Chain A
Amino acid sequence: MLLTGNHAAAFGARLCRPRVIAAYPITPQSPIYEKLSEWDGKGVLGGRMMRVESEHSAMAACITASLTGVRTFTATASQGLALMHELLHYASGMRVPVVMVNVNRALAAPWSFWSDQTDSLSQRDTGWLQFYVADNQEALDTVIQAFRVAETIFLPAMVVLEAFYISHFMEPVDVPAQEAVDGFLPPFRPAFRLDPSDPAAFCQTTTQEQYAQFRILRHKAMEEGLEVVSEVDKEYQKHFGRGYGLVETYHLDDADIVLVTAGTIGHTARITIDELREVGWKVGMLRIRLFRPFPKEEIIRRLKKAKKIAVVDRNISSGQGGIFCEEVKSALCGHVDGAQVFGFVLGLGGTNVSPSLLRKVFEITKTMKMAPLRPILDIESVEIGK
C-alpha cells in the first residue's frame, strides 16, 4: 500500500489490537488520530477511541486503562509531548507498557511545525524506550515491535518519526495480515492490574529506600530491554522478513570516516556515501535506531575501527550540542582510545539536510585534524582545509 508515515503508524497500531486509544490531535500527528477515529467510526478499530481534553489527560487515560489490563496506544507531537511530561514519568514509574508514536516537531518558541528531534530527546530521562525510525515501513514495523518489547519488560515505549519527512510523505508500505501480527504479538498479559476483587493501592508514598529500589528496578528493566529489543527484532524478521537491529549500518566495515545519525538523515547519507565511494573515499554510516536504552556495547563495537566519526544531529541541547553526539562520545569514552568525534548540528526546525550538505560534513571531517570541542553549527561558513 502507498501510505504516509502517519498512516503506516496507524496501521501498525490497529494491527496490535489496542483496546483503548486516548489521544488528542496536534499537527503533524493529527492524521494518525484521524485515521484511527475513522476506523472507530466505521466500527473496525476493535478498541475504543477516548476523547480527552489534552495530551496530559490522554496519557493519564492510557496509564489507567493500561492498569486495568488492556493494551493502550496514543500518539502526539511536540507541544503535546511537552504537556504530557509529568505523566510520562508516571507511566514508566508505574511500569505500564503504553506505546506512543511521537512525530518530531520543533518546540516553541518561536512557533514552528517542522521536523526537529528536540521534543522527544527532551524526554530522555522519563524512563521510556525511544525508537527513531527512518522510513514509513519501519514506522509500521516498529510500532508492532514496540508493543512486544514494552509488554515484556513493563516499560512504556515511544516510536519517533520526523514531521513531514516521514509523517506526510507517501511510500510503498507492506501492511502485514492481521493473523500474521496476531501470531507475533500475543494478547496482553499483565503481571498486575487494577482488580476490585483483589484490592491494591497504586503509586503510594514510599520511603527513601523503597523509592531508590523502584528506580533501580526501572533502570535494570531498561538495560534488559537492550537484549529484548534485539530478540524481538530477530523474531520479527523471522515472521515478516524485515529486521532493523539496534543500529543500521552502511559500508561500515572498512570505513575510515563514519557518519553517525538517527532518523531520515540516515537515508540521505546513503546517497552521499555512494557518491564518495565512487571516488574512492572509505566512508560509512551508522544510524542509531534505539536511543533508550542506549546501545552502548553495539556502538562501541561498530565504531572501534573508525578513524573519524561525524555525528549529525537534527536537535540541539543548548549549551552542550547535538544530543546523539554527546551520547556517542560518552559511550566511547574509556573504550575507544582517542576517538575523533565531530559534532554537526544540522536540519533544525526542519531545514533540509541534502546529500551535498552531508558531502561537506565528510569533507570537513576528513580535512580537520582535531575534532572541535563544540558542535559545528554553520557548515556553509567552514572553509575546507583550515
Chain B
Amino acid sequence: MIKEHKQVLDRENPFAPISYGNSLVFKTGNQGFEQPVFVNKVAPCRLACPIGVDIPRAFHKAAGGDISGALKVYLMDNPLPGVCGRVCFRPCEKMCNRRDLDDAINIRSFERFISDHGRVDVRDLYSRKRDGRVAIVGSGPAGLSAGYHLARLGYRVTVFEKRAKLGGMLRYGIPSYRLPRDILDQEIERVCSLGIQTEVLTAIGKDISWKDLDNFDAVFISIGLQSGKMLFKESGVEEHILTGLDFLAAPHRFSLEDAGLKTVIIGGGNVAMDVARTLLRLRHGKGDNIVVICPESSDQMAALEEEVGQALEEGIRILNGWAPHRLRKADGKRSSLEFFRAEVSVNEVSGEIAIAPVGDETLSLETERVIIAIGQEMEIDSESLPFSTKRGYVVADPFGKTDHPKFFAGGDAVGGRPFVAEAIASGKKGALAIDCFLKGKDLESEFEANQIADARAFCFSNFINKADNQHIDLKRVTTFDRLNALFFSEAERENSSCLVPENRKDSFDEVLLGLEAARMEREIARCFRCGTCAECDNCVDFCPDVCISRDPKLGSYGFDPDFCKGCGVCSVACPRDVIEMEGEPR
C-alpha cells in the first residue's frame, strides 16, 4: 500500500501559494491623485433641440422598458410630444452623434412612439400653488407651451383664443394627414388638465379689449401671423384669389365649389405643399389641374425636403424658377397668370428671399383659381396695442420681453423660424421670463444658470429643482470623439414608412406611419445615450481595484477612495463619457 501522504492544506502555512486572507490592508488609493467623477453631460441632440428635451435620458428610460418614464422626460420640457413626434423639423437628428458611426437615430419616431404608448398624468410631474394670474393670448404651440409651463409653476392661467377651438396653426394650418386631430385634441387636453382656464371665440381687441387684461399680473402674446400675404390685389379678378391660410383653415368649405378648377398655387414653403396636397385629397387624388409654382429652385424651397418629396410622390407638379408677374382676366371664368424666369438668393440669417429676373423668358398659365402661399403677416387690430410692433412683428428680446413690462411675447408673432418646436421653445422661455418678472428674479442670470451649454434652451427640471438635477453638468457636451465607440457596433436605422401614394392621396389618413414596437425597440437599442449613464456596469467590471460600486439609492456609481489609485480605466471603459478623472495629489 502507498503510505499516507499529507492531503490537506494548512491554511496558516500552505504548501501552495494560496492566500485565504485579503488585500484590504493595502490601501492602493494612497498611490493615486486623480479620482473619477461621475457626471452626465449634454448630448448634441439635446443641444440642437430648441425646446432642450433630455433626449438620451428618455431613451435610457425606454431602454429599460419604461415608456411612460420616457414620456415624462419629454413632458418636463415639451408639452406637445405627440405633435412634435409627427411634424417636427428634426434638428436633433441632424446633430445625432450616431451619424459618425452609421446613421442618425430616428428620434422623431421615438417621440411619437412614447407619446402614443406612454401614460403620464402631468399633474403629477410638478405643480405647486403660487399667487399670480397670467393671460395667454392665442392658443397655438407657443401659447399652449407658455400656459403649460406657467401652470406647472403654480400660476393661474387663462388662455384666450379667437377661434372656436384651441391649437392655432396646429389645427388651422397643419392638415390632418400630417397631424391627426384626435392626437392634437389629446395633447391640448393634457395641457388643460393642469387647470388652465380657456376662453374661446374671444378675440382681444374685438370681443374684449387689451385694457381688460389689466386684471392679469402678466400677459403672454402668442397671436401668431394670422393673415396670408396677398398678391394681385388690383387685378380685377380678386374672386379667383385666396390665401393658403384661408384655404387651410377650412378646406372642406372649398370642396363643394371647387369641382376640379384649374388651380395654381404660388409659393415654395410648407404652406404651399399643405395646400396642394389638401386640394389633391379633396379632389380624391386627381391632381391634373393642380400646379405649384415658385421662384426658388428645388434646393432653395423653404418647405421641408420630406414634405416636397411626399408631394411629388403624390403627383403634385412643382415648377421652380418662375416669379409671378401679373394676373389678367381671360375669357369666361378664366384668368391668365404670367411669370418671368427668376433667380432667388436666400438670406442665410433671416431666411428672406430676393428675386431677380433672368433673361426675358416668360410663362403664362390659364387658371380658374390662384392660391397664394408666400408668407404670413400679423393681423393688426384697429385698437392701439400696449406694446410695440415693427415690420409686422411684436418687438421682443430673446426671452420674449416686450417694451411693456407686463407683456411678453413668443411664437410666430415675434419672428424667427416658423417651426412648431421653435414656437414651443419660445413659450417655455416666456414662462421663465414671466416667472422671473413675477418673483422679481434676474432673468438673465436665472437663464444662464439653467442654460443647456451655449444653446438657446434651458433645462426646466434644473430650473425647478437643482438638487434633483445634480447628476448632470449642463455646460459640458458629449461629442462623438468623447465616446468610446469600441462598445458600439453598426446597426441599420429603422426608418418610418409612409402610406403608399395610391392609398393616401384621396384620404386624410395620417401619411407617416409610426414604428411598430419591435422596430422601435431596435431603434432604442441603437441610441448611444451620449453623456448619459446607461448603468452598463463597465466601470465596475473594468476597475482593477474592484473599488467601484453602484449606489442603488442614487442609481449612480461611487468609488472607494481607499482603493481607487486613479488609473482612469473606468473613464476609458465608460462608453458614454460619463466618467472623467479629476483631482489633486492627495
Q: Is B14 an interface residue (CB 8 A)?
A: yes
Interface string of A60-89 (1 = CB under 8 A from B): 000000000000000000000000000000
Q: Is B16 an interface residue (CB 8 A)?
A: yes
Of A105-113, A228-236, A252-260, A344-352, the segment with at least 4 beta carbons within 8 Å of chain B is A228-236
B17 touching A94, Cβ below 8 Å: yes
A201 touching B2, Cβ below 8 Å: no
Q: Is B445 an interface residue (CB 8 A)?
A: no
**From A210, which residue of chain B is reached at the shortest CB distance?**
B17
Residues of B within 8 A of A228 (CB): 2, 5
- Provide a sorted-by-A list of 29 A–B residue pairs whose CB atoms are within 8 angstroms: A93-B17, A94-B16, A148-B2, A153-B5, A154-B15, A189-B7, A191-B7, A191-B8, A191-B9, A191-B16, A192-B16, A192-B18, A198-B20, A199-B20, A199-B22, A200-B18, A200-B20, A201-B18, A201-B19, A202-B18, A204-B23, A214-B15, A217-B15, A221-B15, A228-B2, A228-B5, A231-B2, A232-B2, A235-B1
B14 touching A224, Cβ below 8 Å: no
**From A221, which residue of chain B is reached at the shortest CB distance?**
B15
Query: Which of these, A200, A203, A204, A235, contacts B2 with CB under 8 Å?
Result: A235
Q: CA of A227 to CA of B5 in the docked complex: distance in angstroms?
A: 11
Give the A-B contact count at a CB cut-off of 8 A.
58
Instruction: Please report the total number of B residues contacting A with Cβ < 8 Å.
Output: 18
Residues of A within 8 A of B14 (CB): 192
Q: Is B3 an interface residue (CB 8 A)?
A: yes
Residues of A within 8 A of B7 (CB): 152, 189, 191
Instruction: Please report the total number of A residues contacting B with Cβ < 8 Å.
Output: 28
Q: Is the interface of B mostly helix, strand, loop or mixed?
A: loop
Shortest beta-carbon contacts, A-B, top 6: A95-B16, A191-B9, A231-B2, A192-B9, A201-B19, A200-B20
**From A189, which residue of chain B is reached at the shortest CB distance?**
B7
CB within 8 Å for A152 and B2 given contacts A189-B7, A191-B9:
yes
Q: CA of A206 to CA of B19 in the docked complex: distance in angstroms?
A: 10
A201 touching B23, Cβ below 8 Å: yes
**From B6, which residue of chain A is reached at the shortest CB distance?**
A191
Q: CA of A227 to CA of B20 in the docked complex: distance in angstroms?
A: 31
Extra A-B contacts (7), CB below 8 Å, given A191-B15, A214-B17: A94-B16, A152-B2, A191-B6, A200-B18, A214-B16, A224-B5, A231-B2
Q: Which residues of B5-48 are within 8 A (CB) of A?
A: 5-9, 14-23
CB within 8 Å for A204 and B9 given contacts A152-B2, A235-B1, A235-B2:
no
Q: CA of A221 to CA of B15 in the docked complex: distance in angstroms?
A: 9
Q: CA of A203 to CA of B18 in the docked complex: distance in angstroms?
A: 6
Interface string of A125-154 (1 = CB under 8 A from B): 000000000000000000000001000111
**From B7, which residue of chain A is reached at the shortest CB distance?**
A191
Residues of B within 8 A of A199 (CB): 20, 22
CB within 8 Å for A154 and B2 given contacts A191-B9, A192-B9, A201-B23:
no
Q: CA of A221 to CA of B22 in the docked complex: distance in angstroms?
A: 27
Q: Taking each of B8, B9, B16, which has the highest tally of chain A beta carbons within 10 Å of its own beta carbon? A: B16
Residues of B within 8 A of A93 (CB): 17
A152 touching B5, Cβ below 8 Å: yes
Residues of B within 8 A of A231 (CB): 1-3
Residues of A within 8 A of B6 (CB): 191
**From A191, which residue of chain B is reached at the shortest CB distance?**
B9
> Smallest distance from the beta carbon of B82 to chain A beta carbons, Å?
51
Residues of B within 8 A of A221 (CB): 15
**From A227, which residue of chain B is reached at the shortest CB distance?**
B3
Q: CA of A231 to CA of B7 in the docked complex: distance in angstroms?
A: 16
Interface string of A202-232 (1 = CB under 8 A from B): 1110100010001001000100100110011
Q: CA of A189 to CA of B23 in the docked complex: distance in angstroms?
A: 28
Interface string of A144-179 (1 = CB under 8 A from B): 000010001110000000000000000000000000
Q: CA of A327 to CA of B45 in the docked complex: distance in angstroms?
A: 76
**From B20, which residue of chain A is reached at the shortest CB distance?**
A200
Interface string of A177-196 (1 = CB under 8 A from B): 00000000000010110000
**From A198, which residue of chain B is reached at the shortest CB distance?**
B20
Q: CA of A168 to CA of B16 in the docked complex: distance in angstroms?
A: 38
B16 touching A154, Cβ below 8 Å: yes
> Smallest distance from the beta carbon of A96 to chain B beta carbons, Å?
8
**From B1, which residue of chain A is reached at the shortest CB distance?**
A235
> Smallest distance from the beta carbon of A354 to chain B beta carbons, Å?
40
> Smallest distance from the beta carbon of A157 to chain B beta carbons, Å?
15
**From B8, which residue of chain A is reached at the shortest CB distance?**
A191
Query: Which of these, A152, A202, A224, A235, contacts B17 with CB under 8 Å?
Result: A202
Residues of B within 8 A of A210 (CB): 17
Q: CA of A99 to CA of B19 in the docked complex: distance in angstroms?
A: 25
**From A225, which residue of chain B is reached at the shortest CB distance?**
B5
> Smallest distance from the beta carbon of B43 to chain A beta carbons, Å?
40
Query: Which of these, A191, A200, A232, contacts B19 with CB under 8 Å?
Result: A200
Q: CA of A231 to CA of B4 in the docked complex: distance in angstroms?
A: 11
Q: CA of A354 to CA of B348 in the docked complex: distance in angstroms?
A: 97
Interface string of A316-343 (1 = CB under 8 A from B): 0000000000000000000000000000
Residues of B within 8 A of A152 (CB): 2, 5, 7
Q: Taking each of B6, B14, B18, which has the highest tally of chain A beta carbons within 10 Å of its own beta carbon? A: B18
> Smallest distance from the beta carbon of B5 to chain A beta carbons, Å?
5
> Smallest distance from the beta carbon of A68 to chain B beta carbons, Å?
13
Q: CA of A227 to CA of B19 in the docked complex: distance in angstroms?
A: 29
> Smallest distance from the beta carbon of A215 to chain B beta carbons, Å?
11
**From B3, which residue of chain A is reached at the shortest CB distance?**
A231
Q: CA of A214 to CA of B7 in the docked complex: distance in angstroms?
A: 17
Q: CA of A360 to CA of B15 in the docked complex: distance in angstroms?
A: 49
> Smallest distance from the beta carbon of B367 to chain A beta carbons, Å?
78
Q: CA of A194 to CA of B309 in the docked complex: distance in angstroms?
A: 66
CB within 8 Å for A95 and B15 given contacts A191-B9, A192-B9:
yes
Q: CA of A263 to CA of B2 in the docked complex: distance in angstroms?
A: 26
Residues of A within 8 A of B1 (CB): 231, 235
Residues of A within 8 A of B19 (CB): 200-202, 204
Residues of A within 8 A of B15 (CB): 95, 154, 191, 214, 217, 221
> Smallest distance from the beta carbon of B545 to chain A beta carbons, Å?
14
Q: CA of A108 to CA of B528 in the docked complex: distance in angstroms?
A: 52
Residues of A within 8 A of B2 (CB): 148, 152, 228, 231-232, 235
B17 touching A203, Cβ below 8 Å: yes
**From A224, which residue of chain B is reached at the shortest CB distance?**
B5
Q: CA of A323 to CA of B3 in the docked complex: distance in angstroms?
A: 32
CB within 8 Å for A206 and B9 given contacts A228-B2, A231-B2:
no
Residues of B within 8 A of A201 (CB): 18-19, 21-23
> Smallest distance from the beta carbon of A59 to chain B beta carbons, Å?
17
**From B16, which residue of chain A is reached at the shortest CB distance?**
A95
Residues of B within 8 A of A200 (CB): 18-20
Q: Taking each of B9, B19, B20, B23, which has the highest tally of chain A beta carbons within 10 Å of its own beta carbon? A: B19
Q: Which residues of A366-380 are within 8 A (CB) of B?
A: none
Q: CA of A359 to CA of B48 in the docked complex: distance in angstroms?
A: 94
**From A152, which residue of chain B is reached at the shortest CB distance?**
B5
Interface string of B114-141 (1 = CB under 8 A from A): 0000000000000000000000000000
> Smallest distance from the beta carbon of A42 to chain B beta carbons, Å?
34
Q: CA of A231 to CA of B2 in the docked complex: distance in angstroms?
A: 5
Interface string of A350-365 (1 = CB under 8 A from B): 0000000000000000
> Smallest distance from the beta carbon of B67 to chain A beta carbons, Å?
38
Residues of B within 8 A of A189 (CB): 7
> Smallest distance from the beta carbon of B198 to chain A beta carbons, Å?
65
Q: CA of A300 to CA of B21 in the docked complex: distance in angstroms?
A: 46
> Smallest distance from the beta carbon of A64 to chain B beta carbons, Å?
14
Residues of A within 8 A of B21 (CB): 201
Residues of B within 8 A of A204 (CB): 17, 19, 23
Residues of B within 8 A of A203 (CB): 17
Q: CA of A206 to CA of B9 in the docked complex: distance in angstroms?
A: 18
**From B5, which residue of chain A is reached at the shortest CB distance?**
A152
Residues of A within 8 A of B18 (CB): 192, 200-202
Q: CA of A148 to CA of B21 in the docked complex: distance in angstroms?
A: 31
Q: CA of A192 to CA of B23 in the docked complex: distance in angstroms?
A: 20
Residues of A within 8 A of B20 (CB): 198-200
B17 touching A206, Cβ below 8 Å: yes
